[in-house]
A and B are shown apart, each in its own frame.
Chain A
């Protein structure tokens, strides 16, 4: 088990810097990161192609011939089924890199802890180190990677969508940009409070873990002394305190998300309204109108409703 290869690898690893920065870790796996980036960018093109195919298929309504109808139906099917396969390739290109990166972080994290002198190690509870090696890695996996992926996706969709709008209707593209900025500013009003509440929730979770860990460690002696009931009541208080903090974040998070959805819906209806007028004036056909409406929707929702939040998650993790 402790063969020469493992020892050699350990010595080689130890020559690297023991400090953990995401940049160092990414630099070490440059090739994997490029594959990951391609995998992460695939869904952007998938969505844009899907929207174009979908808009084209919408022309079924105005199709003049049976052949045209059939072609548009085939494109509709392709537009709705092919994304699954994009998803397959995209995810396969990402998960291998995530595996390697998380493994690197685990190893570096452990090396930092095992390298501590006993005196320094004893300053913190074992549960803090356990939390570093288990919970914090989960946070990196869930918050960093998922958020990074979403930032790429939402940023990419908004950017390329805006470029398409510029080509199709320049004035409307700038109206959408103005609306996006306005809603983005509104989103920032929510963001500060949201981050504070999330930090409080995170602290409350950590505090709860430490307290429950202590109670579970002492349960044997509590039972021997027959005083477990009092500590069961106390544990219930810890639970109630944690959930009280969590509910504040949950309510505010849902409320801001619902409010932004409502505003997003208002903007979507306005874009349909605009498209309707352009169609009535004979300046657009149904297919282009659909494309504009769908891209507007995805630009607004990508930037305002998702991108800002995901950027916050990355910053936190």
Chain B
């Protein structure tokens, strides 16, 4: 119709023009609902693809072994599900759609060209294939660069997160200048590496564009020579330009989309590596409760080359209360992680009632232990659910735990009581209140073994002493507390105090 309209204009046939104009504009108006439908389908496709990809990713993160999840930096997962998945959305999903849409446009252009000379679309298709081929080759070079880029940006993000996590320590030790110099050095490194990659990309793009230009010039030369020799109207020529435009535009989109798709392969590989479970030991024993002893029998453990524990022996008896002290990096947290079954010892064994903990099924073991951690996890839900973690406890049990954890005053201030919704992930709770929520969780669980990891660090001394006494009076519950906060009046309440130093555990003797 466009060709007929243009030919009519070139010949000045006004009656012919009048007949064509109305159907031409009606045809154009139909483009709008078609655009709407196409936009809707594209939107639905992207939504579905993104949702499935992210949900599948979360499922895999949740399926990771606790030891491996714990040993890796969580910023990696966040970076994967935000930055990397945005990259995948733009460079993979959107590019796939672009290729599909560009293919339709390409064939539309071929159809238009076939109205001029039959061989033109054949040559145009051959050129299309060549361009896609060269695009794929360029993509392989770009892929390597994209992988490097993602890798060093990830390390940079992890580095910044570590600095932000240590903000208080940096400020209290006046390390701002030192940290700023370090930050500036790393940032300079990141920007320069990106710059070097950009330079490489520029060369690749230049080569590809030049090749693209050569092909198109050859095609247009052939077409115009054909027109020169007759057989095509002037309207046909302008139509051919439109056809060329469609082909060139679609090929250009495809030439960008193919390398983009190839370049995200490395991002997928890195995500896959983060999700992989490396530990594959088989657990065969169920655990019905702790009745006798938990024993470290000649346990040695190392993080890579860093030997943390060496030939460690000690025993915890049911109902006993134990305190573990020692310098930072001495191995206290590693002992706690071994008791929590995050890892298995390299040598020796952790025996629970004579059964090797490595053989006990994680899920059955976790039913009988409770943890009070230093970093308290709160989420957007009622105080009740934050305390019970969605398990069934009576109001009496909850109130007893609240009292034991010293949370009664906090609860009294809440107009909705237990149904008060904690918002903004508990950001409005003080450090002490957060710690008490964690302690209440530990108390409510009625576990056989209660593990405290610096549980009193955020509390003032009087409150900490009072809660510690409550915990130490729990009948039949074995308590293992790792702490650097010692109160002389509560120390006699422990059955034993272990000192962890340079990978060895010794029972400390104190006179009270």
* Chain A residues within CB distance 8 Å of chain B: 1-2, 6-7, 9-10, 57-58, 60-63, 69, 73, 76-77, 79-85, 87-88, 91-92, 95-96, 99-100, 102-103, 106-107, 110-111, 113-115, 117-118, 121, 125-127, 129-130, 133-135, 138, 205, 208-232, 235-236, 239-240, 243-244, 246-248, 250-255, 258-259, 261-262, 265-266, 269, 272-277, 279-281, 286, 290, 293
CB contacts under 8 Å to A, within B191-231, are 191-192, 194-195, 198-199, 202-203, 205-207, 209-210, 212-214, 216-217, 220-221, 224-225, 227-228
- Contact: B32 with A262, CB < 8 Å? yes
Known: A254-B39, A265-B28. A228 touches B192 (CB 8 A): no
| Residues in B neighbouring A210, C-beta threshold 8 A | 425
**Would you call A276 and B9 a contact (CB within 8 A)?**
yes
CB of B31 within 8 A of chain A? yes
Please name all residues of chain B whose beta carbon is closer than 8 Å to the beta carbon of A216 when the two chains form the complex. 61, 74, 77-78
The residue from A82, A218, A230 contacting B390, defined by CB atoms under 8 A apart: A230
Question: Which residue of B is nearest A138, CB measured?
Answer: B83
Apart from A87-B205, A217-B375, A244-B47, 16 more pairs, CB < 8 Å: A9-B184, A10-B177, A57-B224, A81-B210, A81-B213, A81-B217, A88-B203, A91-B205, A103-B188, A126-B164, A127-B78, A239-B50, A253-B39, A258-B38, A272-B2, A276-B6
User: Counting CB contacts under 8 A, is B157 at the interface?
Assistant: yes
With beta carbons under 8 angstroms apart, the residue of B43, B50, B69 that contacts A219 is B69
Q: Measured between C-beta atoms, what is the minimum distance from A299 to chain B in Å? A: 16
B70 contacts the other chain (CB 8 A): yes
> Known contacts A84-B213, A114-B180, A273-B9: does B160 contact A130 (CB below 8 Å)?
yes
Complex-state Cα separation, A48 to B171, whole angstroms: 57
Q: How far is the CA of A126 from the CA of B371 in the complex (A)?
A: 25
Sample of 28 A–B contacts (CB below 8 Å): A76-B221, A87-B209, A88-B206, A91-B202, A95-B198, A96-B195, A99-B192, A100-B191, A103-B191, A110-B183, A115-B176, A133-B160, A212-B81, A214-B377, A217-B74, A224-B369, A226-B366, A231-B62, A239-B58, A243-B47, A243-B50, A247-B44, A251-B40, A269-B2, A269-B24, A272-B238, A276-B6, A279-B234
A130 close to B161 (CB less than 8 A): yes
Which residues of chain B from 136 to 182 have any CB-CB distance to chain A below 8 Å in the complex?
153, 156-157, 160-161, 164-165, 167-168, 170-171, 176-182
Q: B185 interface residue, CB < 8 Å from A?
A: yes
Which residues of the partner chain B approach A246 to less than 8 Å between Cβ atoms? Answer: 46-47, 50
Question: Which residue from B28, B69, B170, B184 sits with its C-beta under 8 Å from A223?
Answer: B69
- For A79, the closest partner residue in chain B by CB is B217
Q: Are A95 and B54 in contact (CB under 8 A)?
A: no
Write the nearest CB–CB distance from A218 to chain B, whole angstroms: 3
Residue B10 at the A interface, CB < 8 A?
Answer: yes
What is the bound-complex CA distance between A254 and B24, given in angstroms?
23
Q: Quick check: is B400 within 8 A (CB to CB) of the other chain?
A: no
Chain A neighbourhood of B75, CB < 8 A = 130
Contact A219:B12 (CB < 8 A) given known A6-B185, A130-B164: no
Known: A226-B363, A227-B391, A266-B25. A125 touches B377 (CB 8 A): no
B66 with A224: CB separation less than 8 A:
yes
Q: Is B55 engaged at the interface, CB distance under 8 Å to the other chain?
A: yes
Q: Which 9 A-B pairs have the closest CB atoms?
A: A218-B377, A258-B35, A276-B9, A254-B39, A80-B213, A84-B209, A251-B43, A84-B210, A255-B39
Counting CB contacts under 8 A, is B268 at the interface? Answer: no
Would you call B238 and A293 a contact (CB within 8 A)? yes
